[in-house]
Structures are given as structure tokens and as C-alpha cells.
């Protein structure tokens, strides 16, 4: 189970509404540590993908301009209650996470 992703997905009339919260520091690389004065290294999610039925329904390319613990919401058609959806992300340090969830 994914430790960094919380997911809610509901289908109505063949259209799914997906909402997810990703726990991630999302550092731009521009901020300085208040105590040491050194820059905090960049650490942000670069790519977020969503798959439904083996097909990609979302591919987002992100940068350091996204806030800490980003919230993502999107809709797509062709979904039914009980279908599965997979959300995954990869950051600029090579870390990643994914979650398989059910659409209600």
C-alpha cells in the first residue's frame, strides 16, 4: 500500500471524479535553511500518472512550483463503479510511489 497517496474516486454516469492527496516536501531548491543559511536541495515530483483499465487517463509533468503535499483532482470518462485506478508518481531524486484503488 502506498504510504504517500490518499485516494478517493467516484463514478457517476460513466464519468469518474478522482481526488488524491500526495504527501511530499516539494522543495524548489531556492529556499535556504534558516539555521545554516545553506540552500535546501530541490526535491519535487516530476511526473504523476493515472491508469484505468491499462490505459493512461492522466499524465502530468510537474516542477518545483507545486506546493508541499499537493492535492490533485481530475475527471475522466469511461469509468464504472468497482473499476480500479492506479495513481503513481516519480520525483527528481528517483523516488516513487503508487496506489491501486477502487472507484466507488
Domains and CATH numbers, the chain: 5-102 (2.60.40.10)
pTM given for the model: 0.91
Q: What pLDDT score does 26 carry?
A: 97
Q: Judging by beta carbons within 10 Å of its beta carbon (0-12, 13-18, 19+), is residue 51 exposed, middle or buried?
A: middle
Q: What pLDDT score does 21 carry?
A: 98
Q: What pLDDT score does 83 carry?
A: 97
Q: What contacts 86, CB < 8 A, 6 or more positions away?
A: 50, 51, 52, 98, 99, 100, 101
Residue 69 Cα distances to 4, 11, 38, 52, 76, angstroms: 9, 25, 23, 24, 23
Cα–Cα dist 2/72, whole Å: 16
Per-residue pLDDT for the chain (104 aa), expressed as one digit of tens each? 569 999 999 999 999 999 999 999 999 999 999 999 999 999 999 999 999 999 999 999 999 999 999 999 999 999 999 999 999 999 999 999 999 999 99
Amino acid at each position: 500500500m502506498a504510504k504517500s497517496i490518499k485516494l478517493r474516486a467516484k463514478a457517476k454516469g460513466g464519468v469518474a471524479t478522482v481526488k488524491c492527496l500526495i504527501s511530499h516536501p516539494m522543495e524548489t531548491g531556492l529556499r535556504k535553511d534558516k539555521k545554516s543559511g545553506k540552500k535546501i536541495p530541490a526535491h519535487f515530483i516530476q511526473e504523476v500518472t493515472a491508469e484505468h483499465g491499462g490505459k493512461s487517463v492522466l499524465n502530468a509533468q510537474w516542477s518545483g512550483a507545486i506546493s508541499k503535499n499537493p492535492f490533485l483532482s481530475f475527471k475522466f470518462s469511461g469509468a464504472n463503479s468497482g473499476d480500479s485506478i492506479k495513481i503513481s508518481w516519480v520525483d527528481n531524486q528517483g523516488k516513487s510511489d503508487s496506489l491501486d484503488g477502487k472507484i466507488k
